[in-house]
Structure formats: C-alpha cells, structure tokens
A and B are shown apart, each in its own frame.
Chain A
Amino acid sequence: MYATSYHRASSVGEAVNLRASHDEGRYVSGGMTLIATMKQRLAAPSDLIDLRHIADLRGISVEGRSVRIGAATPHADVAGSAALRTVCPALCHLAGLIGDPHVRNMGTIGGSVANNDPAADYPSAVLALNATVVTDRREIAADDFFLGMFDTALEEAEMITAFRFEAPEKAGYAKFPNPASRYAITGVFVAKTAGGARVAVTGAGSSGVFRVPEMEAALLSSWAPESVANVSVDPAQLMSDLHATAEYRANLVRVMAKRAVQASL
C-alpha cells in the first residue's frame, strides 16, 4: 500500500469537509474493498476519511413498510435485522451472501453501493427496490444512481448517508457465485413494488447493474417463476471472462431470475 493519511470523522459534516479539502482523498467505511485495493496498489488515496465512527450513519429503522438503512450499517447487521426480516427478508438474505462472516462484520451497504462494483450484490437490491439514495446533499433515485461499472451519480466529495425504500410486496434474490472470488457471476433481485415489478441484475452486465424490462413486464402480468424462465437476455450486453462467457451469463440471468421469483413466494 502506498503511504496515506488517516482521518477519523465523528460527524457527516466533518467527514465531508475533510474529504473536500483533500482532492485525492477517499471515504473509507468498512474498507473491505478499498483497503484490499490499496494493498494491491491499485488505489492510492492521499487521505482516508473514516466514516465508521459516525453514529448517525449506522442502523436500520422500519416504520410500517418504510425502511431506512444507514450507509455505514455493516452487512452482518442487515443480514441479522429482525425488523428488516419482517418486511423484506430478501434483503437480509442478500446481505448474508456477501463475502464471508468477517467481511460482513466490516463491509457496509453504503461503501458497497458507492463503489458500484459490477459483481457486488447490493446494487441489484437498491435498483430493484427502487430505493432512494440519500446523500449529504440530496436524494437520488436508484434509477439515476448507477451510471456504469464503478461509476455512480455521486459528485466529488458527496457521501451516501442512507438508503430509503418502501418494502416491496414480494422480493427475492438469487446469486450464482464465482467459484474463486465468491462475488456474483450473476445475481438477480426481483421485487414486486407499488410501482410495478422490478428485476435488477448484477455480476453480468458489461456496464454494471441493469434492469430487465422484458422480465418486469412478464412478472407484471403474472408473478411466477415461469414468467421469466424463458425471457432471454442479449449476451451482447454481458461480460465475458475466465469464469463465465456472455452466453453462460445470459443463461444464468434467466435461471437466477426464475429462482429469485421462486424464493419470493
């Protein structure tokens, strides 16, 4: 890892100010991706602004069907939240599949979504749940947030503080992990929301997480595994790598979508 300077922020305001005053700085939350990337010398932030000690950023609240998850809430807390489980167990299930128990104790939902790794699990949930991304300065709709691989609508120094969404009527997540990294080769989150059916795919798209309108339309008319089982996705928009060809991923999108719907029932 290259040399860096560490700053521990105790409030959102302090963190944003610290970040704004260090052009080459980065926020670090759980650090499960960032520190690993820095170790490989693939990232070299001059300064790290630690968000883990900002109490306001942690925690899950459920009021009726309205859910708010603080950005610095670790995956383990999301996976284990009894309140969340009553309204959206699919999200608990997804969080319990990220990394491993130790990674889940440190890694946070905000860090994962801000990083927008094309193989990360959370972006699919945020997009499928039509969540609102709350930042230190504004609110961003999920559909406007994810711009491409590792690219989001976040501005320089902008920090995610929370996610808000209305619990869906039904939701499910199915993931096919990479045999080596255990990241998603393909993960599909399906949600039956007030605004209609939403299907979001992670791990497969060559520009990151994406929705599948054909599947959504099919699910709108009938929320059943068979509805998506034969909806094909064009391999041309999918990634191809050592572990999975685009054709294989296209197949997995179908299969995982079917299983996600099955899991939602």
Chain B
Amino acid sequence: MGTVFEETRAPSMGQEEDNMAKVTLTVNGRTMSGECDDRTLLVHFIREKLGLTGTHVGCDTTQCGACVVHMDGRSVKSCSILAVQASGSTVTTIEGIAAQGELHPVQAAFNQHHGLQCGFCTPGMVMTAVDMIGRHGGALDEATVRHELEGNICRCTGYHNIVKAVLAANEEMHGAARQAAE
C-alpha cells in the first residue's frame, strides 16, 4: 500500500453533497477521476464512470467473481468495495492486461483451450488466473487450480477447460521464465 493519497471531497453543502466523493484511481496505467456517491461500488464506478465494461456483476453476495480486478497488485472483488474505499489505489482490469494488443498468455491459453463460452465470467476468471499464476510461482497442479477458483463461478464450461487453460498458461509463463533464467 505504497500510494500516498489525499482524498478530495466535494464541499459539504447539506445531506446530498455530503454523500458525494471524488474518486481518483490509476486504472490500467492511467490516472482517472470521477465524482460518485459514497455508496457507489468500485465495479459500478469502473463500468459506468470509466466506461470499462469488461468487469461484470454476476451476483450480489460476493461469490461469483465476475467482478474480479487487481487492486494494488492483489485480486479483489470490485462488487464488494466502495469506489471511495479504493480511491488512491492502482487498479488493473481485464482491459489492461493485453500489452499492445498482444493477448496475455492467460488470455491466449483460454482461447486455445476453449476456456470460455458465453464470456461473462471470463474477465474475472482471467484476472483470477493471472493472480493465481503469479502467486504460486509455477507450482500449480489441477487440485490447487480448482481450489483457487473457489471464488469464481462459471455456468458454461464445467471448469474443465478453464483448469486446462490455467495450467497451460502457467506452464507457458513459468516455462518462459525458466528459459530466460538459463
């Protein structure tokens, strides 16, 4: 949590204004600001104020994971965080992981192994997989991947090809890292 942040609040002018805040986030490398109600969820801020609609809402009980983004380097559920809580942090969304239009290895693996069907849970799955592969440093097996996917629900794929894609991406990324190290 290295970011120093000074929150700018709208001038207090009665009840309504008191519930408004200016939220500043660094999203996918760009600093973005917007006004919103204090009660606005991060996911709605990202979708509606920033127009980044790749992050989805699939449930209302913090379970499905369609809303997963990375906040200050950790995967979080943006449906259960207020935008003001997140203000000052660095956020990466699904729109921000393909460098120069080149698919991230996780995205490529999902494509190659048919790890998506309707695509709705996919952004959360991909963000989760990127985080998972990063945290485990190459040491992933099927059981671990399945356990790590506990916070992401998919109704289309039966997870079979998602698990396959995550393991393949893990191999691709850590295989490449091993090669580079040699």
Contact = CB atoms under 8 A, between A and B. Distances in A.
Do chains A and B directly touch (beta carbons under 8 Å) in the complex? Answer: yes
Interface of A: 1-6, 8, 28, 31-32, 35-36, 38-40, 48, 50, 52-53, 55, 76, 99-103, 105-106, 181-182
A106 B84 contact: no
A28 B41 CA distance: 14
B24 interface: no
Contacts of A55: 1
Contacts of A40: 60-61
B85 A102 contact: no
27 contacts: A3-B19, A3-B38, A4-B38, A4-B39, A5-B19, A6-B21, A6-B38, A6-B85, A8-B84, A28-B85, A31-B80, A31-B81, A35-B41, A35-B82, A39-B80, A40-B61, A53-B1, A76-B74, A100-B150, A100-B152, A101-B75, A102-B68, A102-B76, A102-B151, A103-B80, A105-B76, A106-B76
B74 A36 contact: no
Contacts of B81: 31, 35, 106
A48 B39 CA distance: 10
Contacts of B148: 101
Given A100-B65, A103-B62, A105-B76, A6 B84 contact: yes
A265 B19 CA distance: 53
B84 A102 contact: no
Given A31-B81, A36-B62, A102 B128 contact: yes
Nearest to B152: A100
A85 to B, nearest CB: 16
A102 B65 contact: yes
Nearest to B40: A1
Given A35-B80, A103-B151, A8 B7 contact: yes
A1 B74 contact: no
B128 A31 contact: no
Nearest to A74: B74
Contacts of B39: 1-4, 38
B95 interface: no
A103 B79 CA distance: 11
Nearest to A96: B147
Contacts of B75: 101-102, 105
